[in-house]
Chains A and B, each alone.
Chain A
């Protein structure tokens, strides 16, 4: 496993990817010159938040998608279609519901014209290896989520790939099931009982990455770039409570929250680069208020360590980071070195009653969220004080994919409604300045 000097199994060179609109036009970057290598005997995590393009990258590596630019070399040969030496495990297991466990596992082999009896023997072996014997004739709908994902693993392993790609394979499972599956899988890997040479897994779970991987590649969002590469040299089996383990988790938290505001907390226009093109996460105002209250209260008293907070509130980083960053964007909080600290406005918000909160929220929304200011300006300029939502949607689509544009507009409408900054009528899909009487 330490033989990293050998020739790499996978080489990714300057891969770029762009959003594509329905009409096929290419828009903003999703992946920006991503380069990395993968050696034999490694488990590597691609760690990043939703929207950082990590799933896009995985699909490019597997040959399911083509990059806009750059190359992927697998064992020295360019990947431009799904390669026989690469198999993939999906977040949802992606089993064919009309096939039995056995038939699902056999499918890849049968499609390759492997003779029936050989396919059967290999499939049964893979099923046995992954701990599914007894379930061969069951249909996926009869199985629990964890068992389904085991079938997903068996299906990938049976074709004896050199490289196994995993797209958040544990994230759809409950905590206990995921942990069991991880441990079983790691045991098989450490004991060398799987026919694979290397694993690349996409995850947004920092602890999972530290628990399982030799190396962690951290991707930043919008566009996806490699922010850092971290070597993990802890011995297997790893202990989550080990101080070294905790330290590493803390370090990655700090790394991942650092990006949007480079260093100094914002005073004068540190956000100036983020204009209309900023995509906003769909977060309810209740959640924002709840987070402010939680951080303001004991034991945090206005300053909280993000990993501890995540643990405390049972949130993954995909839940937690967008909330924290929205608060930062609106100057209710600042994030530094993996800590979240409320600003004066944030503290005031936490203590205020509903009407004051709404006023404060509305003021900050207009002052610090460029899109909100833009909507308000357009509505102010128009004599009738209303505008169609589609108008803003089109404007946003110049900067981001349709999906993100929609989410962003939905967020700004929700926030605007809460701050009583502007109103929205769903039936006519128009924004206006008047609130319904």
Chain B
């Protein structure tokens, strides 16, 4: 709305395009052409010669990278749609909330990567004979890695809209639709954008893992960096692996600069803290865009449309609203009861269904084996999180206490967290094979390889935010050595550490599915663990084992989160908050 006023004024004076228009225009048109070309290729029939044959020619990498990026974009759009509907429903309906939020919590913990074989079969059946099915399966896999935390963030924002702003909206008779676009969505934007960024980090990992997959006899290779990597592995071409790594680096940097920097900068307008405070985010892309003349004027059109649409009233007729609100207490209770019974019934039916599907082929011994393997993986996750903490906490604290250094390292750590670790797995495999190392030990490091950075950058953030006067007090009283760590610094960064550890552990469980079972040409290196169990079952198309493996793993992950991380974050909130609230 602000831009409207200013744009009108500047239009009056000069309306010629300027340099900035030229640069921005070039960027935008290049983007358009790329998208059109890539999306055309998405719907090719599966038998078309170029559809599933991946060449290791370097010159094809840019187009593969583009296809991968497009998949990410499509998944992000799907995640946003999901967020706006699911989270809004949960926030607006007390009944829906009771079912949807726990469901979201569970979905967050299910290692969806294990289900890839199912979704692929499903989507291939949906679009027979077209690559679109496989595309959808890949996009769905990425979607499942992005949507949950975005929905959570949006739901939480909707629930915490400041009371007075709500009252203003009601006082001015904003309809539910108007309120959603004028108040609730803007309020949720900063949190949502931050979570989109985090989701994106996780998404790269999934896109690489889901582009090339074989379930039993069906092998699907979608053109993209992930497939390129898979082919490079098949052909034992280490140079191509490095090329894929380089391409991935470029893609992530470009994505960050062209999409997320501008978004974050833009979203800072929606922050509610009314002080100017904090230093503003900068983005050269947004700067460029803001200096253009024609483009800005052009962007007024969608902005105007949005403004108009956001002001539509979209009201149900008053009678319907009254009817939708049963005044009767007893009636209300009965509806509650029906809802709960229905939800519980569906849940029980699901459990029964899984049980039947699995118990047809498998015995109790298989179950015992799955549990045993999950325990192995759990020990791995625990040990490696502990190890990563021992390494990165001291380093992160040292970096965080030096603001200049932290400023440089922080984005790097964030970047490393976004970088899909599975792209570098082949290098590790080559090393393991070459030196004949024990996979049970050495493959474990791959689990933490991509997720350790979450610990690092959260600890850096925590240490950088540690209050100066506490630091000075510690120095003035000559608190040093072990005391300085245990009584000053570690409690100070504890909340940040818990956040980092929680994210890292979630990512590690997912990584286990890919990391415990890796290939190099015809050589396979596998560790004992539930990840390898699921991966092996997928390779031979043994569906009951996949379900059993994923189910057992999910239960462990949920228990792990409930019994370890949740109490820890509650402790962090209660005892270790730095503001004396």
Contacts and interface: CB of A to CB of B under 8 A. Distances in A.
Q: Interface of chain B, helix or strand or loop or mixed?
A: helix
Contact of A100 (B2, B182, B275, B311): B2
Interface string B198-215: 000000000000000000
Nearest to A110: B311
Given A100-B1, A103-B2, A94 B164 contact: yes
A82 interface: yes
Interface in A69-98: 82, 84, 86-88, 90-92, 94-98
B164 A107 contact: no
A148 interface: yes
A64 B167 CA distance: 7
Contact of A94 (B165, B174, B182, B189): B165
Interface in A132-146: 136-137, 139-142
B5 A102 contact: yes
A232 interface: no
B186 A98 contact: yes
A112 B186 CA distance: 20
A111 interface: yes
B172 A159 contact: yes
Given A90-B164, A94-B164, A111 B311 contact: yes
A427 interface: yes
A246 to B, nearest CB: 35
A99 interface: yes
A62 interface: yes
Nearest to A90: B164
A148 B270 CA distance: 17
B275 A141 contact: yes
A136 B6 CA distance: 11
B168 interface: yes
Contact of A427 (B172, B311, B575): B575
Contacts of A139: 2, 269
Contacts, number: 83
A64 B173 contact: no
B489 interface: no
A393 B271 CA distance: 36
Interface in B181-198: 182-183, 186, 189
A223 interface: no
Nearest to B575: A427
Contacts of B269: 97-98, 139
Given A137-B5, A137-B6, A111 B167 contact: no
Interface string A148-188: 10000001000100000000000000000000000000000
B178 interface: yes
Contacts of B274: 95, 97, 140-141, 148
Contacts of A382: none
Nearest to B271: A97
B36 interface: no
Contacts of B6: 137
Nearest to A137: B5
A159 B183 CA distance: 19
A95 B2 CA distance: 15
Nearest to B274: A141
Given A64-B167, A92-B164, A100-B5, A142 B183 contact: no
B173 A97 contact: no
A111 B2 contact: no
A111 B173 contact: yes
A225 B160 CA distance: 32
A103 B182 CA distance: 11
A370 interface: no
B182 A107 contact: yes
B170 A82 contact: yes
B245 to A, nearest CB: 40
A297 to B, nearest CB: 30
Contacts of B174: 111
B172 A107 contact: yes
Contacts of A88: 167-168, 171
A86 B171 CA distance: 8
Contacts of B313: 113
Nearest to B571: A427
Contacts of B16: none
A108 B162 contact: no
B272 interface: yes
A111 B178 contact: yes
B276 interface: yes
Contacts of A113: 311, 313
Interface in A305-333: none
A99 B165 CA distance: 13
Contacts of A155: 168
A283 B269 CA distance: 38
A325 B276 CA distance: 40
Nearest to A152: B168
A59 interface: yes
9 contacts: A82-B171, A82-B172, A86-B171, A87-B171, A88-B171, A98-B269, A99-B2, A103-B2, A141-B273
3 tightest A-B CB contacts, nearest first: A94-B164, A103-B1, A108-B172
Interface of B: 1-2, 5-6, 162, 164-165, 167-168, 170-175, 178, 182-183, 186, 189, 269-276, 311, 313, 575
Given A64-B170, A100-B2, 4 more contacts: A62-B171, A86-B171, A107-B172, A159-B172
